[in-house]
Amino acid sequence: MSDKPNFDPERRGALRLLTFGGLAAGAGLRGVLAQGQAPAVITPESARPQMPYGVMSGDVTDRRAIVWSRADRAARMIVDVSTTESMADARRIIGPAALETSDFTARVDLSSLAPGQTHFYRIQFQDLASPTLYSVPQTGRFRTPSDGPRDVVFAFSGDEAGQGWGINEAMGGYRVYESMRKFNPDFFIHSGDQIYADRPIQAEVKLDDGSLWKNLVTPAKSKVAESLDDYRGNFAYNLRDTNKRRFAAEVPLLVQWDDHETRNNWYPGQRIGPEDKRYQDRSASLLAARANRAMFEYNPMRFDPVDPERVYRAFRMGPLVDVFMLDERSYRGPNSANRQTAPGGDADFLGATQMKWLKQELANSRATWKVIASDMPLSIVVPDLNPDVPQGTYEAWANGDDGAPSGRELEVAELLAFIKRRRISNVVWVTADVHYASATQYRPENARFTDFKPFWEFVGGPLHAGTFGPGTIDKTFGPDVNFVSVPAGMKQNRPPSDGLQFFGIGRIDARTRALTVSLHAMEGQTLFKIELPAEV
């Protein structure tokens, strides 16, 4: 995509305006000042456009970034961006109209940014029906990757508002986001299950001790999502949380999806069986298309110009790290016994096109570390327990037989052998999905398939959902599990009030190029930590 500015410099010059206590003294070329009119200085708060879900940034590169917000009505997005917190010499971009067609969400793809800089941005909306009315501006910040060596810190986790555990304001909401924010990460990898569209939320849930967990409930979270508005409402729900809004205003997001953005364990072409009586629309592909639209509308993601629904993408985050965000939903074959002996068809997980892309991106990477963001873990066995699928059906890569690669494992073997053959160094995997944290090293000397270089996989999550695990481990690729965050035999679906919510932090030292990965509990407590030296 082009790095040409998406604004007209002459128009930008004409659009500079003063603000008085957050009230715009001018409306831009498309607004009232261009018409020779002046807006009212005193405006009732309720009359102004509102920005109920804050501001976010995402898909940041060294010179580009997406900034996002949502209005409560048809309104024009206005963005100021500067490298100083005072917003001195800010440049102004008159953004798109937020209309009903996008559920009043809007974004601007900022370009011509300075590498290695903290950028501050301010967003407000101009009411299109009453152009003298402006929202109170909201501010955010992000750091662009540096052209030269600089320490890099990133966070990763997933699984948000699952199993009926929603926003409990008495408990402090989604507290993990505040704990992650304190690490001041350069970016956050959201490893999927950002919503649970198939899991309605009730007002109250009785806990083991007899007390009540009390959820904030909205109409969209009171039933399974089927319509586009249902999916939009699920994404909007999580942005009602104060911790998440504060985090998203300060930390750029890199987002992928898994199954619960649509429906548990879905795959393309699936027909939802009559056993699940909650659904009127029974095409998983139809539901997924609506979910994909809502996900892009409610996240600061950059649309691919050729394929606007594409989720997989790569990010060059400076000389120390590249991030490869995978899509393990859109191109998979049906969930099955997962023991096919040849690749392709039902054994697909990434699919041929995405696999070719990933190999090329890895081969072209000149970064010290290559982080593969996989929404599903490699060796933890995840059975598909939906009532409308046969028993012995598997959802993730592993099939639980500990033998030579088969089924979806054939793609893993192909990729690992490619990495070894092309001498690609310093590859780590980060993932979520299983609702507990773990750290695993894969060693060929312990494996049934041995044509690969040793590597690490780190699992985070849940962010705010039921805690499960630990899972059964498939030994095909020689996993050596160094750490598991939950005890064997634990009662399943533990509420967030138990504190068993987890995230990971990666820290790359610019001087030594070593990657230190740590796993943390809900309040930020360090549970596991390891330093990985960079391979020369």
CB environment 506-525: b (16+ within 10 A), e (fewer): bbbeeeebebebbbbbbebe
Per-residue pLDDT of 458-512, as tens digits, reads 999 999 999 999 999 999 999 999 999 999 999 999 999 999 999 999 999 999 9
Q: Report which of 166, 374, 353, 346 is spatially closest to residue 257, judged by C-alpha positions.
A: 374
* SS3 assignment for 213-250: EECCCCHHHHCCCCCHHHHHHHHHHHCCCHHHHHHHHH
Express each pLDDT in 278-331 by its tens digit: 999 999 999 999 999 999 999 999 999 999 999 999 999 999 999 999 999 999
Q: How far apart are CA 265 and CA 293, in angstroms?
A: 19
> Rounded to whole angstroms, how far apart are CA atoms 133 and 39?
7
What is the mean pLDDT of the segment spanning 179-205? Answer: 98
CATH architecture entry for 152-532? 4-Layer Sandwich (3.60)
Does domain 9-143 fall under CATH 2.60.40.380? My reply is yes
What's residue 43's pLDDT? 72
In angstroms, the CA 501 to CA 514 distance is 27
pLDDT band at 214 (very low <50, low <70, confident <90, very high): very high
- What letter would DSSP give residue 303? P
Helix axes 228-238, 284-297, angle to 10 degrees: 40
Residue 503, CB-side half-sphere exposure with 13 Å CA sphere: 32
Residue 82 has a pLDDT of 98
pLDDT at residue 1 in the model: 40
pLDDT tens, residue by residue, 71-129 = 999 999 999 999 999 999 999 999 999 999 999 999 999 999 999 999 999 999 999 99
Residue 383 CA to residue 392 CA, distance in Å, equals 7
Q: What percentage of the chain has pLDDT greater than the value 70?
A: 92
Whether the Cβ atoms of residue 473 and residue 378 lie closer than 8 Å to each other: no
Domain positions in the chain are 9-143, 152-532
Residue 200, Cβ density class (10 Å: 0-12 exposed, 13-18 middle, ≥19 buried): middle
Which pLDDT score, from 0 to 100, does residue 42 have? 56
- Where do we find the tokens 């499960």? 468
Mean pLDDT (the chain, rounded): 92
- The arithmetic mean of pLDDT across residues 321-348, rounded, is 97
- The answer to whether the bond into 470 is cis (omega within 30° of 0) is yes
What is the pTM assigned to this prediction? 0.92
Residue 536: per-residue pLDDT: 80
> Tens digits of per-residue pLDDT, 408-440?
999 999 999 999 999 999 999 999 999 999 999
Cα(519)–Cα(96) distance, rounded to whole angstroms? 40
pLDDT over 70 (residue 388): yes
**What residue has token string 């067609």?**
101
**Residue 176, φ and ψ in degrees, nearest 5:** -60, -35
